[in-house]
Amino acid sequence: MSEVHRIKCGNGNCYIIENGTCGILIDTGKKEFLHQVVESCKQYNVKLIVLTHAHFDHAENAAQISDMFGIPIAMNERDSDLIKSNTNQELSASTFLGKIVLSASLKDFSARTMSEFKPSVLLNDGDSLSDYGIDARIISLPGHTNGSIGIDVDKKHLIVGDALMNMFYPTVSMLYHDKEEMLESARRIGKIGDRIIYFGHGSPKPNRKWA
């Protein structure tokens, strides 16, 4: 049985899924939190980095951690354009709070650049992570970005990246590249059943109807 460990990185989260013998790192955080994420990885036999999407606050440390531990990076190919620049997929917001978050995010997107990397594992809907020792499968959750994915662990835990957010309160993503896809992904999460939802931003909550 796998456990999910939250690594708090400011207002964002990374996670390690581990089963006692090996682990997978989910997202890598901003460069300010590199040491914290690396120290957490050292506690487990981490064999893979999975990026829920390629925004810098989730992927900025991917290249360095991959090099340090000699492990591959996995993500969905539809987010590959974000590696070069997070501005390559336009974001929008509808709510007042969402527009505040969007304004701050766009400033960061323009000011920060990630060390470029090439994912060696391309993940698609339904893919299993059992080759890396973890009973988990990939769920496609586009909308926040084109290639956003979630990780369903032991049919008990669901890591959703920014497909949902709990930055101020639990909700569908406040920022989206495609609003209709974002809402459909939120509906898909709600229909998956009894899970603890692990957000890219905020503390875990039980699953429910989201949209």
The pLDDT score that the predictor gives to residue 1 is 86
What are the structural domain ranges in the chain? Answer: 3-205
CA dihedral sign of residues 118, 120, 122, 123: negative
Regions of the chain where pLDDT drops below 50: none
Domain 3-205 in CATH 3.60.15.10: yes
The pLDDT score that the predictor gives to residue 109 is 92
The pLDDT score that the predictor gives to residue 154 is 94
What is the SS3 string spanning the chain?
A: CCEEEEEEECCEEEEEEECCCCEEEECCCCHHHHHHHHHHHCCCCEEEEECCCCCHHHHCCHHHHHHHHCCCEEECHHHCHHHHCHHHCCCECCCHHHHHHHHHHHHHHHHCCCCCCCCCEECCCCCECHHHCCCEEEEECCCCCCCCEEEEECCCEEEEECCEECCCCCEECCCECCHHHHHHHHHHHHHCCCCEEEECCCCCEECCCCC
The Cα 150–Cα 71 span in angstroms is 20
The pLDDT score that the predictor gives to residue 112 is 87
The pLDDT score that the predictor gives to residue 151 is 98
The pLDDT score that the predictor gives to residue 2 is 93
Confirm whether pTM is higher than 0.85.
yes
